[in-house]
Structure formats: structure tokens, C-alpha cells
Amino acid sequence: MTEPTVSDIIFDVIKRRRVSRSYLPEPVDDALLAQMVAAARWASNASNRHIHKFLITRDPRKIARVRSFAPGLLAEPPALIVILTDNAARERERLQEGDTADFIDVGTAAQNMMVMAQALGLGTCPVTSFSKTGVATVLELPDTLVPELMLMVGHPQPVDRGLRANAPIFRSDWSS
């Protein structure tokens, strides 16, 4: 049998990644969280602008308070990573608020973190259903930082996920 290639290994990690909504109570090591954020910082972003910051909290009281402003935060994970837009950096770069590239930049950073988490044996769940103002208040953010997406992180509870149905990948057009 041949050794797996780097692309085989990466594709395997991508295929195994699933959303994890329940976690074991054990804490997540700082070094693992740092690797996840490093992966996010390597994500592509429009015009190589770096207007996003990453906040990590493992404080269960703070996470519980964030949860009161986040209906999408279905569990109390051991760690929470918040992707923030730095409006001061946006202003320096002369970028317009609401630029659709921002959403793509947040998404690529989140995806890199989720894939890295899977490779590290961690589970994640992205959360977009929350009050930005409420979360910013709980996290005591300065006015220039706006929460865009939260990522629950932890050691996932074992779950039987079964097989995924295979959807068609290639089509010549939508009518066929």
C-alpha cells in the first residue's frame, strides 16, 4: 500500500469534520487554540487586508453570559473563539462597512479554524445567531471591535454520525 499524500491527508480531515454541539468537560489546551487561530490568520482575505481579530475565552461564567445573548449557542463549550471586525483597521484601510468581502473573509478564517480543530482532535460549531451588541457588552469589547462569528470549541462527545448521502458533484447544467 502506498503512503498517503498530503492532499489525501487534508481531504480526509475535511471529510471527517462535522459540527459538534456537545463537548466533554475537559479544558482545551492553550497551544491547540493558538494553532487554530494561527490557521485562521493564514486564511485568504480580500486585498490582503487584515481587519479581523480573534478573541478566545474559556471562562465558563463569561460563556454562560454570552449564551444569554446567543440563541445559536446551544451548549456551553469549554472554549469560545470570537471573530471580530476591527473598525479602526477598516477605517485605516478606507473600507466600507458591510463590504461583502468581509463575510467571505470571516468564513475562510472560520473554515481554516474548523479544519485545524478537526486535525487536532477537537470539535467545533460556528454560531452566527447572536446579538452583536449583547455579546460585545459581555466581552467588554471596545467600540471599535464588532463580533461577527463565534466558534464553539471543545473535545467532542462521541456521536454515531452514520454515513452521509452522496450528492451529485458534477453536472453539465441544472436541467439535466
Q: Which domains does the chain have, with CATH numbers?
A: 23-154 (3.40.109.10)
Give the pLDDT of residue 35.
96
Contacts of 140 (CB under 8 A, 6+ apart): none
pLDDT at 53: 93
Torsion sign, CA atoms 88, 79, 75, 39:
positive
The per-residue pLDDT for 98 is 66
Convert the pLDDT of each residue in 106-129 to its tens digit. Answer: 989 999 999 999 999 999 999 999
Alpha helices in the chain (DSSP H): 6-16, 30-41, 60-67, 87-92, 100-119, 132-138
Q: What is the mean pLDDT of each run of 10 residues along the chain (176 residues)?
A: 78 68 91 95 78 94 96 90 90 70 86 92 94 97 96 88 60 59
